[in-house]
Amino acid sequence: MFFSYFFIDPLKRFFIREDNQFFISIFLRSFALGMILIFEPIYLYLHFQESLPSTLIFFALIHGLYGLLTVIGGKIMARLGYDWAILISHLFFLGYYIFLYLINTSSFIIPLAIVFKALGMTFFWPSYHTSFARFSRKDQTGKYVSKKFYAYTVPNILGPIIGGIILSKYSYNLLFVFVLAFLLISAIPLFFKREEKESYADGYKEAWGRVFKKENRKYSIGFICESLEEGTNACLWPLFMFILGIQYLSMGGITSFAIFLSLVAIFYAGRISDSLKRFNLLNTGSFLTSISWVLKIFVHNPISAFFIHNFYMMARYLTLVPFHSLFYEKAASQEALTDEFIILREIVSNFSRFIFLLFLAIVLYFFSDIRISFLIAAIVSLGFMTIGKPPRFQRIKNK
């Protein structure tokens, strides 16, 4: 009785809440992908005989295809419901990593991997964002966003360093086995969630029309800037560390420790992102993120990578928490059009990254210095401010 009262009953109450089931699934999924994500561009870079353009084109095609399929993703979400769409997405992500595991066996593997990753994103992201926007409370969006980032970042404290250990001692093949296992486990909590569905009615004409509406312009600019900055961090930064000669274990350690420190930023940002101060926080974080990208240009060894990446991650999460709070508040305020607004974001984010990565592939074909992308990231990081209230600079008049 004592054990049940103090342990079993609280656990039951915890797991019965739908938002907790959602976050547990995200937690496990983040741990699975945290082991591989920083090493995935390197794996493909090695497969393409150390060709930066080929590696970037691979990721560009994934985002371009997903951008085309996003509207279909909204219709799938409406037909199946959030949870079934997310569950099915896991099958495509599993297929993607199986294809990466078998990448040297056939010339058809690369296009199949691209298609499966894009389909996984099509089933997952519209449902994920809409589900989150629906259950997060309007007056506590910052709190829920920080909780979401905790679900992403806490497992990633261990994920990259575990991935680095596996790669330094064994191989990519064993790492793929671990990723596949945890991806399967991450789907289990979704079986206990109550099914919910959306009513998504937009076709391609209506969805693309929303992208260019005047009232959505500042959000579209913000989404573009977020996507380009994130793409540089996810794809170009790991490749840069690898080209510098930083070992897998050191790479994992640098990433894991930076994620650990970012929890401080998430905690602080989450506490004030439901107040008027979040605009100041967003602007300050955007500026510091931009500075951190400039500093990354001067990284030349593991020690400098460690300190500058730590600064970057702190600055980035000071930006992302208020940025995402404003995004989800705007999405929730659309009420019946919440899913349409989220599809708008996915279209803008993924087509802009598609164009950006193709552009970089062309540039890096002629100038093979990845640090060019860091300058672009420094500029677009300032664009995070557009979704809030950018600071106004006024000329000081002589008295």
Question: pLDDT value at position 5?
Answer: 43
pLDDT exceeds cutoff 60 at 202: yes
Render pLDDT for 166-181 as a digit per residue (tens, 0 to 9).
Answer: 998 888 989 999 998 9
Structure-block tokens of residue 52: 């930066």
The alpha carbons of the chain give a radius of gyration, in whole angstroms, of: 21
Question: pLDDT value at position 397?
Answer: 45
Question: pLDDT value at position 160?
Answer: 93
Structure-block tokens of residue 196: 């919910």
Count of alpha carbons within 13 angstroms of residue 209, beta-carbon side: 5
Q: What is the mean pLDDT of the chain?
A: 86
Render pLDDT for 218-228 as a digit per residue (tens, 0 to 9).
Answer: 999 999 999 99
Q: Which pTM value belongs to this model?
A: 0.89
Which residue blocks in 273-297 are alpha helix, DSSP H?
A: 278-296
Rounded (10°) angle between helices 82-101 and 52-80: 150
Measured CA to CA in angstroms, residue 183 lies from 30, 102, 125, 287 at distances of 9, 18, 16, 36
Domains identified in the chain and CATH numbers: 21-189+212-387 (1.20.1250.20)
At residue 151, what is the residue type? A
Which residue blocks in 102-140 are alpha helix, DSSP H?
A: 109-135
How sure is the predictor about 107, in pLDDT bands with cuts at 50, 70 and 90? Answer: confident
Render pLDDT for 232-286 as a digit per residue (tens, 0 to 9).
Answer: 999 999 999 999 999 999 999 999 999 888 888 887 787 776 666 788 899 999 9
Question: pLDDT value at position 135?
Answer: 62
pLDDT exceeds cutoff 70 at 15: no
Q: Of how many residues is the chain composed?
A: 399
In angstroms, the CA 370 to CA 143 distance is: 36
Render pLDDT for 282-317 as a digit per residue (tens, 0 to 9).
Answer: 999 999 999 999 999 999 999 999 999 999 999 999
